[in-house]
Amino acid sequence: MQRSTRRTLIGATAALAAAGIGAAGITAASAEEPAPAASYSLPEPTGEYGVGTEVLYLVDEDRADPWFPDEDRQLMATMWFPTEDQGETAPYMTAEESAVFVDQLRIDAPADYFSTVETNSVADAEPVRGKLPLILLSPGWSFPRATLTSFAEDLASHGYAVAAVGHNYEAPTSLPDGETNPCLACPSAPDGLAVTENRAADLSFVLDELTARGSEWRRHLDRDDVIAGGHSMGGSAAHAVMQTDDRFAAGFNLDGKIHDVDDATIDDPFLLVGNERNGLPGAAANNWPAAWDQMTGWKRWIQVEQTTHSTFTDLTLFAADLDIPMQEMDGAYAVALTRAYVLAFADQELRGADEPLLDGPSAEWPEAVFHNP
């Protein structure tokens, strides 16, 4: 299959805009003074279980890829889950994905930077016995699915199965045939509604595959306890799939513009968590007020001070090391805060737990402001 004509790397301006990072303050790559090799470890999960991981390759033969209609829709998914196994941890990204992402961000770092990040997930482990509630995740536009690893690992350590979907051609993605596709859809401004609807279909398809007869995952998953969530465009997809697929019991959006707000009633629980600008008058541009008004079930809108768009991803951990301007908040603290609120939401909705953290302001996380328009 010839794809050489699709391999043009993203231009600097488009790549930075797609990643949600402003051009100011980004250090251009320098051949004379390369940054030192990465030796970074993700924060340890806080739950009682060890974490296992597995990478899945899924092909929807009934749906054409929206970017290249002559191809079937190909998806990669990373699973995280509780395990009692021990062993070598899995890489954060492939070396090829890392090289494309470093180029996309235009940062002064070794090409293999992200592939050297140490995770907490044991490769090819076995899940613990019993049925696991499931959380499906969709990353932001141009963001590899790996950038949701820190809070996915934490959820897994608390007994959840988590699947982060890699949407082909929308972020650096390595396929089993050895090809690694950059975000070839990024140079053009995306049709947010079309991407949202397609990603919602991706999430439903992944759920189909994981729970189908013959799937190795079917026996491990509680099919009645499923949440959809994501960052940025992925959060919009979670909002959309809640309206089209009643298998999802709840959803959450981490700082993502909601593109499907016309006749978008959601009766099930939904959590909005974003940077502090989402509580200002300009929030209308993100469509959160319009979406909020159509949420008839349990809902929360939490704006987090001292944060920016990418704070709710692992990029917040690497920002200082890579000299990427981001938020005032410390990166490790930001990850801990995101973990806390997503876990509380999952425990409340899938386990029926009483979660005071979701009832109002917390002394532990004073930056989290409850916004009730």
Is residue 31 included in any domain, yes or no? Answer: no
Which residues are within 8 A (CB) of 133 and not within 5 positions of it... i.e. 6 or more apart? Answer: 159, 160, 161, 222, 225, 226, 227, 346, 350, 351
Residue 63 has pLDDT above 60, yes or no: yes
Give the model's pLDDT for residue 40: 84
Is residue 318 included in any domain, yes or no? Answer: yes
Give the model's pLDDT for residue 279: 65
Number of domains in the chain: 1
> If residue 307 lies in a helix (H) or strand (E), which one and from where to where?
none
Residue 17 has pLDDT above 50, yes or no: no
- Whole-structure pTM value: 0.89
Q: Which two tokens stand for residue 305?
A: 């001070």
**144, 56 contact by CB (below 8 A):** no
Q: Please give the single-letter amino acid code of residue 39.
A: S
Residue 182 has pLDDT above 80, yes or no: yes
Q: Taking residues 68-87, what's their average pLDDT?
A: 97
Q: What distance lies between CA 149 and its chain's CA centroid?
A: 8
> What is the C-alpha to C-alpha distance for residues 69 and 137, in angstroms, rounded to an integer?
24
Who wins on pLDDT, 277 or 349? 349
Q: What percent of the chain has pLDDT over 70?
A: 88
Is residue 136 included in any domain, yes or no? Answer: yes
> What is the C-alpha to C-alpha distance for residues 237 and 74, in angstroms, rounded to an integer?
17
Is residue 25 included in any domain, yes or no? Answer: no
Give the model's pLDDT for residue 26: 25
> What is the C-alpha to C-alpha distance for residues 262 and 231, in angstroms, rounded to an integer?
21
Is residue 215 included in any domain, yes or no? Answer: yes
Q: Give pLDDT tens digits for 124-144.
A: 899 999 999 999 999 999 999
Longest alpha-carbon distance in the chain: 57
Q: Give pLDDT tens digits for 149-178.
A: 999 999 999 999 999 999 999 999 999 999
Give the model's pLDDT for residue 281: 67
Burial environment of residue 213 by CB neighbours within 10 A (0 to 12, 13 to 18, 19 or more): exposed
Residue 12 has pLDDT above 60, yes or no: no
Q: Taking residues 95-107, what's their average pLDDT?
A: 95
Which residues are within 8 A (CB) of 287 and not within 5 positions of it... i.e. 6 or more apart? Answer: 257, 258, 259, 261
Burial environment of residue 40 by CB neighbours within 10 A (0 to 12, 13 to 18, 19 or more): middle
Give the model's pLDDT for residue 373: 66
> What is the C-alpha to C-alpha distance for residues 311 and 107, in angstroms, rounded to an integer?
17
Q: What percent of the chain has pLDDT over 90?
A: 81
> What is the C-alpha to C-alpha distance for residues 311 and 143, in angstroms, rounded to an integer?
13
Residue 231 has pLDDT above 80, yes or no: yes
Residues listed for the chain: 373
Is residue 227 included in any domain, yes or no? Answer: yes
Helix, coil or strand: residue 347:
helix
**Residue 219 belongs to a domain with what CATH number?**
3.40.50.1820
Give the model's pLDDT for residue 36: 43
Residue 273 has pLDDT above 60, yes or no: yes
> What is the C-alpha to C-alpha distance for residues 83 and 100, in angstroms, rounded to an integer?
31
Range of the domain at 302: 46-370
Q: Give pLDDT tens digits for 109-125.
A: 999 999 999 999 999 89
Which is it for strands 161-167 and 89-91: parallel, antiparallel or unpaired?
unpaired
Q: What distance lies between CA 54 and its chain's CA centroid?
A: 16
Is residue 11 included in any domain, yes or no? Answer: no
Banded pLDDT at 248 (limits 50, 70, 90): very high
Is residue 346 included in any domain, yes or no? Answer: yes
